[in-house]
Amino acid sequence: MNEKRNKNRRFEAGVSLIVVATLLISGISMVSGADFVKDSSPSLSKTGNEDMNPLCNPLVPHPIYGTATWEGGGNADGAGVAVTSSLGTLSTTVSSGAWMVDCGDPGPNWPSGTSFSVTITGSGSHAGWSGSTSGSVGGYYNTMGNVVVNNDAPNNPSNPSGDTPRVIGQIGNYSTSATDSGEQVQYIFDWDASGSHSYSSWSSLVNSGQSVTMSNSWGSAGTYVVKAKARDHYGKESTGWSNGLTVVVSAPNHAPGIPSTPSGPASLVTGQSGTYSTSATDSDNDQVQYMFDWDASGSHSYSPWTSLVSSGQSGSMSHSWGSAGMYVVKAKARDEYGLESNEWSDGLTVIVKRPQPGNHNPNTPVILSGPTTGKVGISYTFSTSTADPDNDNVSYGWDWDGDGVVNIDDWTGLYPDDTTVQTSHIWDAAGTYNMKVKAKDEHGAMSDFSPTWTVEISINNLPEKPDKPSGTEKGKTNKEYTYSTKTTDTDGDQVYYNWSWGDGTFSGWLGPFDSGVTIDWTHKWTVDGAYSIKVKAKDAFGAESPWSDPFTITMPFSLNKPMLQFLELLFERFPHAFPILRHLLGY
């Protein structure tokens, strides 16, 4: 009887295995998606033998199964499935929206309670998509339900690069890029990300990591921030915008005005250098520079561009001609952005002659005296002299900044040769100046430049506000009182003091005194009352400090003369007596 029962059981198990396998195969091919889980064939439902140990019944299947769909819909067919536990990894592919692996025996032999994870990854056009779930072996049939395979968003795009600054209406090109796992991407730009926002259309799709360039122009002046965003070909956008590129948009640039007619010597001899100047204004207040044409009516001979100067400020260059003749000098201007004036200036005619026979250049002058240090805005005097072989009168041209150019205004008048000539100059900026001087005789023949004379010009700092005056707080009229103060000059210059006594009188500038040294000064008042004393300082270069904080002195009303004389005799007779009375009367 028992043997018959065992035969029947083995027969039933074999039949069940065949039915299950048949239904699994037919079910996977006939149903899809969630229907596979929801409407599994009876052979995938519990049979009443769930608690059987597969090790005791190796013929019973032991599947882990489920469905997979793409984010946005559709079966995730072709996606790879990896079921992983500490005992290994089982792999399969989604087909008709369903998948299954067997973890039983014969096979990998995962016992009940084994924890596992399921990872489903897309391929082909869905490369980079993924979904996951997890569970543990709990019976013969382990359903994992539906796993959604999600599309990963592109990375945030790179900071846009492109043209800045711009002017109104001027087109600029801007580029960005982003990466995405195996998918094409496209981009949108926000042309005013920090303001009212202005979005471009989406670009065409390009490969992951490939940059895209789009163009834009702005209709109003201002500062704009350009940002970019990415999305893949399924429409999934990056989680954020890129960092911003700042674009400054200004009003349209206008050409500088036509320069003034050059000024300079209209008569020279061959080989003699003349300095010529011009100026132009720019309606945008841009900096300008100048070019000269030394032969504008002939074969043309162009100078290099001068350094940039402020709009309206003149620029100068020197030139000499090697051949006698008549030359026309013209000038042109361009702004700091390279936009040139529409026309050349009117021309200055220069007559160049051959040198007079027997005329010689003056000797090279030397700078005889002058300071080697100074302050911005202060006038300094320098002296020079030279001899002329022909005893001609000479003038001196000073190159104050050592650039080899003598401006028209820096030539002195004519002086007898061998005469010491003094000239003053003010520097308006701190720096090191290697100045030099040259001589020119009355016929235009010039010497070489003198050796350089170096002057260090620094910014002059104000003295600090003087200390509040100190001294007697109460006194009496017509008696002198002494008050003290001090200040420090950060440049170490000597200082002068001017006292305001509060009665409408001032000490005038007193000094000089060394910086940081306490000084005393006296004053007397002729009328009773309260007076505010204050003091200010100035350094040796005239830079003045603020006024000090005020100090108040009180002049009590005087007693009648006989009584006052009596008290004075009393105080002299008893110098240490009556301290309270002395204090009240100001003694």
pLDDT digits (tens, 9 = 90+) for 193-207: 999 999 999 999 999
Cα–Cα distance measured from residue 287 to residue 306, given in angstroms and rounded to the nearest whole number: 12
Task: State the distance between the two ends of the chain, measured CA to CA, in whole angstroms.
Answer: 144
Do 554 and 474 touch, CB atoms closer than 8 A? yes
Cα–Cα distance measured from residue 173 to residue 258, given in angstroms and rounded to the nearest whole number: 33
The CATH code of the domain that includes 305 is: 2.60.40.10
Tokens for 403, please give them: 């650039």
Query: In the prediction, which pLDDT does 518 show?
Result: 96
Strands 166-167 and 245-250, by their bridges, are: parallel
pLDDT digits (tens, 9 = 90+) for 73-87: 899 999 999 999 999
- Sign of the Cα pseudo-torsion (513, 515, 520, 524, in order): positive
Cα–Cα distance measured from residue 292 to residue 329, given in angstroms and rounded to the nearest whole number: 7
- Is pLDDT at 397 greater than 60 in this prediction? yes
Into how many domains does the chain fold? 6
From 458, 490, 505, give the residue that closes a domain: 458
pLDDT digits (tens, 9 = 90+) for 276-289: 999 999 998 999 99
For 143, half-sphere exposure in the C-beta direction (CA atoms, 13 angstrom radius) is 16
Residue range 435-444: average pLDDT?
91
Tell me: do 134 and 49 sit in the same domain: yes
Reported as a pLDDT band with limits 50, 70 and 90, residue 46 is very low
- Is pLDDT at 30 greater than 50 in this prediction? no
Q: Walk across the sheet containing 348-353 and list its strands.
A: 267-269, 348-353, 325-335, 288-293
Residue 464 covered by a domain = no
pLDDT digits (tens, 9 = 90+) for 533-568: 999 999 988 899 999 999 999 987 555 556 666 777
Tell me: do 234 and 372 sit in the same domain: no
pLDDT digits (tens, 9 = 90+) for 179-235: 988 789 999 999 999 999 999 999 999 999 999 999 999 999 999 999 999 999 888
Tell me: do 198 and 140 sit in the same domain: no
pLDDT digits (tens, 9 = 90+) for 470-523: 999 999 999 999 999 999 999 999 999 999 999 999 999 999 999 999 999 999
Do 87 and 130 touch, CB atoms closer than 8 A? no
Residue 400 covered by a domain = yes
For 99, half-sphere exposure in the C-beta direction (CA atoms, 13 angstrom radius) is 26
Tell me: do 549 and 562 sit in the same domain: no
From 149, 180, 203, give the residue that closes a domain: 149
Tell me: do 482 and 511 sit in the same domain: yes
Tell me: do 135 and 189 sit in the same domain: no
- Rg for the chain (alpha carbons), in Å? 50
Reported as a pLDDT band with limits 50, 70 and 90, residue 585 is low
Residue 78 covered by a domain = yes
Q: Across the strands, what pairs with 394? A: 415, 441
Tell me: do 199 and 291 sit in the same domain: no
Tell me: do 102 and 48 sit in the same domain: yes
Tell me: do 13 and 89 sit in the same domain: yes
From 433, 458, 483, give the residue that closes a domain: 458
Comparing 124 with 401, which gets the higher pLDDT? Answer: 401
Domain that holds residue 585: 557-587
- Is pLDDT at 7 greater than 50 in this prediction? no
Q: Which of 518, 451, 458, 531 is nearest to 488 (CA)?
A: 518
Residue 373 covered by a domain = yes
Residue 361 covered by a domain = no
Average pLDDT, the chain: 86
Query: In the prediction, which pLDDT does 565 show?
Result: 67
515-519-522 Cα angle (round to 5): 150
Residue 155 covered by a domain = no
Residue 156 covered by a domain = no
Full-model pTM = 0.39
